[in-house]
């Protein structure tokens, strides 16, 4: 069947986050003509909100005396996913992630400030988080500039709507809607889907995840354009879903607060948490791993909890510092000096119901809609644990047992935030989209958060920077595979 196109390229990339830009830059470096389609008005997607990316045995680790072997990374990914990850794909990523650091530094101009972890007290966390000066948003700027310099045609405000194949099942291009609302048909030897997942699509979240009707409750802090467009197009083109399609990167978050807020960071501390029924429900040290904590909160009644604390806890946070931060936005053990003013302002603002204060535990419980008798009993039991220095119910470490005893008392409502979905489409270790029968669709690839195979049912927090490390690495490796197949006449 003949196809009429407005123009044609060797490769078209759908989405301009870390994976899409990495792919486009590498494709152009390999001598391929390339178009990059981005439906938003700017590049970056959810990558604009990230701080760093994972790598293993990199020279940036070596110069700091940090040893994290590829074998350790491989074992951690497979173990953490309960062996649901694709071992061949994990190996390709792990083996090439250190090269990604060199590419981003030596070719793109990134400057690496540090290699660290997200939570100092999180057991088993590997030192893999390569922090970029200016964060990943700066790296996005550098990648976009390099893409334009190399001749990549970047079309902003342009939405891909359909992937086209010929009669033999080979990808030949796509249909898109440009910034003027006009339909365009673009030919291509390969199409790479890098559309960032479906974190901003409540219907897809409810369809694919294990949580009960949580989609509309989630607070999206990632890219607004992550509505699953690329995933739908691949499925319509004969691709298939990876078993981990329901994996989400979730975390506790205050509604209407920024991630730099000291009140928001306090709500994640491993102190005293109550569910919608006024019951303590978990070892709050789960907050050291925000991904695990996010999964827990999403599964609670109403998908929220209340952190309840006393005035002594606030003094501890201000004078001694927090137990765990939130990336680089609130540092680990940072003194929460803004907390008293923030919480005082919110507690008296009727438009800020997520923070409440009272002189008694019973009054506080009533203000947040809980049974005062139930909350009083929970507080009394917890305070006994604090006095004894041991938690027989959930076995939380003694250093996180802070009593709720000194008035006034405070409650912070933490809901469920989402950054990205992860691992939607079935791909092989070359990031080629596969049919339900496991056969590659010629010319169709998926990278970054759209590609399945790295995760199980939760984000791998023991390897911080996994999502962006995987995105950047899968992008350039896919461009190399496309160039090799075009040169061999396969595409």
Closest listed residue to residue 416, CA positions, set 308, 269, 268, 310: 268
- In this predicted structure, the answer to whether residue 327 has a pLDDT above a threshold of 90 is no
Closest CA to 3 of 141, 166, 118, 196: 166
pLDDT of residue 121: 74
The residue ranges of every structural domain in the chain are 7-246+423-487, 250-417
Fold of 250-417: Flavocytochrome C3; Chain A, domain 1 (3.90.700)
Nearest to 379 by CA among 369, 364, 389, 367: 364
**Mean predicted confidence (pLDDT) in 425-431:** 98
Interatomic CA distance for residues 485 and 491, integer angstroms: 6
Give 11-68 pLDDT, tens digit per residue: 999 999 999 999 999 999 999 999 999 999 999 999 988 899 999 999 999 999 999 9
How many whole angstroms separate alpha carbon 402 and alpha carbon 241?
45
Residue 363 has pLDDT above 70, yes or no: yes
- Whether the predicted pLDDT of 280 surpasses 80: yes
Strands, E, within 285-377: which ranges? Answer: 305-310, 355-358
Cα–Cα dist 155/371, whole Å: 55
Give the integer Cα–Cα distance in Å for 468 and 243: 21
> In this predicted structure, what is the pLDDT of residue 2?
54
Rounded CA-CA distance 322/342 in Å is 16
From CA 430, how far away is CA 58, in angstroms rounded?
A: 22
Three-state DSSP class for residue 263? helix
| pLDDT of 377 higher than 70 | yes
Which three-class secondary structure string do you get for 105-138?
Answer: HHHHCCCEEEEECCCCCCCCCCCCEEEECCHHHH
Dump pLDDT digits (tens) for 215-225: 999 999 988 99
Provide the 10 A C-beta neighbour count for residue 207.
Answer: 13
Model-wide pTM > 0.75: yes
Q: What is the pLDDT of residue 124?
A: 87
Give the residue ranges of DSSP H helices in 116-275: 135-149, 202-208, 229-236, 262-266
pLDDT 10s digits, 158-194: 999 999 999 999 999 999 999 999 999 999 999 999 9
Q: How far apart are CA 386 and CA 375, in angstroms?
A: 16
Q: How confident is the model at residue 257 (pLDDT cuts 50, 70, 90)?
A: confident
Residue with tokens 């078209």: 12
Nearest in space to 430 (alpha carbons), one of 467, 485, 469: 485
Beta strand ranges found along 138-274 (DSSP E): 153-156, 159-165, 171-177, 183-193, 219-220, 247-253, 273-274
By residue count, the chain amounts to 491
Tell me the β-bridge partners of 191.
Answer: 12, 444
Asked whether the predicted pLDDT for residue 238 surpasses 70, the reply is yes
| CATH 3.50.50.60, applies to 7-246+423-487 | yes
Neighbours of 128 (CB within 10 A): 27
* pLDDT confidence bin for 1, thresholds 50/70/90: very low
Cα–Cα distance measured from residue 195 to residue 66, given in angstroms and rounded to the nearest whole number:
34
Instruction: For residues 374 and 378, give the distance between their C-alpha atoms in angstroms, rounded to a whole number.
Output: 6
Nearest by Cα to 89 from 433, 484, 485: 433
Query: Tokens at residue 268, please?
Result: 């994640």
Q: How many CB atoms lie within 10 A of CB 35?
A: 24
- Per the model's pLDDT, the better-predicted residue between 258 and 74 turns out to be 74
pLDDT at 75: 97
pLDDT at residue number 60: 98
Q: How far apart are CA 83 and CA 213, in angstroms?
A: 27
């Amino acid at each position: 069947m003949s196809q009429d196109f407005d123009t044609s390229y060797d490769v078209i990339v759908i989405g301009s986050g870390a994976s899409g830009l990495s792919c486009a830059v590498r494709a152009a470096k390999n001598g391929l003509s390339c178009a990059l389609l981005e439906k938003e008005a700017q590049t970056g997607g959810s990558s604009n909100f990230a701080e760093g990316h994972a790598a293993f045995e990199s020279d940036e680790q070596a110069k700091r005396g940090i040893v994290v072997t590829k074998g350790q990374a491989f074992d951690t990914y497979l173990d953490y996913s309960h062996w649901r990850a694709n071992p061949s794909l994990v190996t390709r990523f792990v083996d090439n992630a250190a090269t990604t650091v060199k590419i981003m530094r030596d070719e793109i101009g990134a400057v690496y400030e540090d290699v660290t972890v997200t939570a100092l007290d999180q057991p088993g966390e590997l030192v893999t988080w390569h922090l970029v000066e200016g964060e990943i948003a700066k790296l996005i700027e550098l990648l976009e500039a390099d893409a334009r310099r190399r001749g990549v045609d970047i079309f902003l405000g342009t939405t891909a709507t359909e992937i086209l194949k010929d009669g033999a099942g080979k990808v030949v291009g796509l249909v898109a809607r440009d910034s003027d609302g006009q339909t365009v048909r673009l030919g291509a030897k390969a199409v790479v889907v890098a559309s960032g997942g479906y974190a901003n699509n409540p219907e897809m979240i409810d369809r694919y995840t294990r949580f009960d009707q949580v989609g509309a409750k989630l607070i999206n802090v990632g890219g607004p354009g992550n509505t699953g467009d690329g995933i739908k197009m691949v499925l319509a083109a004969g691709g298939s879903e990876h078993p981990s399609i329901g994996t989400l990167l979730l975390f506790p978050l205050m509604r209407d607060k920024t991630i730099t807020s000291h009140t928001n960071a306090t709500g994640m501390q491993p102190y005293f948490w109550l569910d919608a029924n006024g019951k303590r429900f978990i070892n709050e040290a789960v907050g050291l791993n925000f991904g695990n904590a996010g999964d827990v909160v999403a599964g609670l009644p109403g998908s929220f909890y209340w952190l309840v604390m006393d005035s002594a806890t606030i003094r501890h946070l201000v004078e001694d510092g927090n137990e765990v931060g939130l990336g680089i936005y609130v540092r680990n053990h940072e003194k929460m000096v803004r907390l008293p003013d923030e919480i005082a302002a919110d507690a008296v603002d009727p438009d800020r119901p997520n923070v409440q204060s009272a002189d008694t535990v019973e009054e506080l419980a009533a203000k947040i809609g809980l049974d005062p008798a139930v909350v009083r009993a929970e507080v009394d039991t917890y305070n006994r644990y604090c006095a004894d220095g041991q938690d027989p119910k959930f076995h939380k470490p003694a250093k996180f047992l802070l009593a709720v005893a000194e008035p006034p008392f405070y409650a912070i409502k933490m809901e469920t935030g989402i950054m990205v979905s992860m691992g939607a489409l079935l791909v092989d270790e070359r990031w080629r989209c596969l049919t339900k029968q496991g056969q590659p669709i010629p010319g169709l690839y998926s990278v970054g958060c759209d590609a399945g195979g790295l995760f199980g049912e939760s984000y791998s927090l023991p390897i911080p920077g996994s999502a962006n490390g995987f995105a950047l690495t899968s992008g350039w490796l896919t461009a190399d595979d496309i160039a090799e197949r075009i040169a061999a006449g396969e595409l």
